[in-house]
């Protein structure tokens, strides 16, 4: 204004394909030159930015990596499983790594340790799918939840996995499968779920 104070401007106007103005939602603040200032990101109690759904906002690329998606899905499942559930978590990349050598009862301490274990993992490129599933079946789990973002390329082929899985299925094992991204083996994951009475989902 005449005293040098900033004067809020009308909200910016966009145009549709016919040249008609389309008004946008007004910004919440303006800088000293009258330009709109976008609202600051929401934060958690520690001041870390969070997404609209309350999840931590990614600090690098705008989209979360497939590993981050898998970690988030697994941690959510761990939070919801009832106390006393006997389980294990197996990660597979160029090799196979399990949280414990056997199924463990999910108590408060184990739940916290499992979540920390999941958060500590990092992507390593390869997909040792067959060895990971063999280990899961050796643990004699009655239900297996398989998350994979790629084609098995270490330690065996699909035909070997299907042979071993069908033997476990005859013993009553159910296999639920989750495929992440466009590179996962849709046919294999779908077959494992269908033949065992499980569910197949893709993201």
pLDDT digits (tens, 9 = 90+) for 112-131: 999 999 999 887 778 899 99
Does an H or E element contain 15, and which? Answer: strand 13-15
List the domain range (segments joined by +) for residue 94.
Answer: 66-202
Mean pLDDT of the chain: 78
How many angstroms separate the CA atoms of 15 and 188, rounded? 47
Cα angle 49, 51, 54 (rounded to 5 degrees) comes to 95
Name the range with the highest mean pLDDT among 4-13, 75-84, 117-126: 75-84
Model confidence over 18-40: pLDDT tens digits?
555 554 444 444 455 555 544 44
pLDDT bin (cut points 50, 70, 90) of residue 182 is confident
Q: What is the mean pLDDT of residues 62-87?
A: 83
* 95 and 33 inside one domain: no
pLDDT for residue 28: 44
Q: Per-residue pLDDT averaged across 147-159, rounded?
A: 87
Residue of 150 and 119 predicted with greater confidence: 119
Question: Judging by DSSP bridges, how do beta strands 29-30 and 36-37 pair with one another?
Answer: antiparallel
Q: Do 70 and 33 fall into the same domain?
A: no
In a domain, 178, yes or no: yes
Instruction: Work out the pLDDT band at 70, boundaries 50, 70, 90.
Output: confident
Residue 27 and residue 97 in one domain: no
- Burial class from Cβ neighbours inside 10 Å (0-12, 13-18, 19+) for residue 178 reads buried
pTM (2 d.p.): 0.65
Whether 48 maps to a domain, the answer reads no
Query: Is residue 141 situated within a structural domain?
Result: yes
**Cβ contact 13:27 at 8 Å:** no
Which two structure tokens, joined as six digits, stand for 116?
């920390």
Exposure string of 107-125, with b = 16+ CB inside 10 Å and e = fewer, is eeebbeebbebbeeeeeee
Using alpha carbons, select from 144, 184, 151 the residue that is nearest to residue 165.
144
Same domain? For 93 and 189 the reply is yes
On whether residue 4 sits in a domain, the answer given is yes
Q: Report the number of distinct structural domains present in the chain.
A: 2
Least confident of 2-11, 15-24, 44-53, 152-161: 44-53
Residues 29 and 74 in one domain: no
- 104-105 and 86-87 as β-strands: parallel, antiparallel, unpaired? antiparallel
On whether residue 51 sits in a domain, the answer given is: no
Cα 19 to the center of its chain, rounded Å: 41
22 and 90 housed in the same domain: no
Tell me, yes or no, whether 24 and 78 share the same domain: no
């Amino acid at each position: 204004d005449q005293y040098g104070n900033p004067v809020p401007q009308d909200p910016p106007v966009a145009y549709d394909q016919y040249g008609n103005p389309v008004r946008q939602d007004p910004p919440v603040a303006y800088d000293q030159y009258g330009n709109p200032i976008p609202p600051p990101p929401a934060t958690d109690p520690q001041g870390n930015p969070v997404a609209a759904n309350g999840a931590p906002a990614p600090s690098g690329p705008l989209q979360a990596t497939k590993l981050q998606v898998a970690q988030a899905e697994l941690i959510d499942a761990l939070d919801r499983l009832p106390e006393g559930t006997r389980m294990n978590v197996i990660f597979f990349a160029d090799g196979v790594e399990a949280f414990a050598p056997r199924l463990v009862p999910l108590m408060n301490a184990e739940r916290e340790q499992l979540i920390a274990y999941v958060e500590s993992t990092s992507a390593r490129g390869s997909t040792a799918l067959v060895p990971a599933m063999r280990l899961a079946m050796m643990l004699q789990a009655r239900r297996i939840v398989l998350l994979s973002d790629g084609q098995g390329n270490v330690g065996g082929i699909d035909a070997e996995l299907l042979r071993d899985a069908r033997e476990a299925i005859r013993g009553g094992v159910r296999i639920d499968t989750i495929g992440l991204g466009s590179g996962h083996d849709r046919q294999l994951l779908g077959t494992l779920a269908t033949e065992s009475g499980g569910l197949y989902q893709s993201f």
